[in-house]
Structure 1
Amino acid sequence: MVVYADQITSGVLAWPPMAPTSPRFNPILFEIAGHPATLQGQIPWVIMTPLLYWMVIRANNQ
């Protein structure tokens, strides 16, 4: 949980190119121990997880 708390630091974008929303639209999705998890902080995981699984499955099938 300590590592995750660093990922959801307020006002910090980990992967700005992977977050297609602008800084004006960055709602808080949930909080963990008082640290907000914002949309822009989580969107790279939402985008990249299915892509990674797709690439691994495709590479395994070839």
Structure 2
Amino acid sequence: MLPRLTVERARQQLHTTFPTANAAVQVLERLGIVLEVTGQKKNRSYSYRAYIDLLTQ
């Protein structure tokens, strides 16, 4: 997994629709696995917290 992702990248990797990929990313966010880092409503970017935590130690 890359330390950064977008819903579009998830959609491409999962070979699914944008709404399905968006729902999957939202689940990851609710679980605290990814963190939204742009503060935007569109074109959001998420970071994979475990990787970022390891890299910033």
Question: Normalising by structure 1, what TM-score?
Answer: 0.29
- State which structure, 1 or 2, has the greater radius of gyration over its C-alpha atoms: 1
Higher RCO (CA < 8 A, seq sep 6+): 2
Question: Normalising by structure 2, what TM-score?
Answer: 0.30
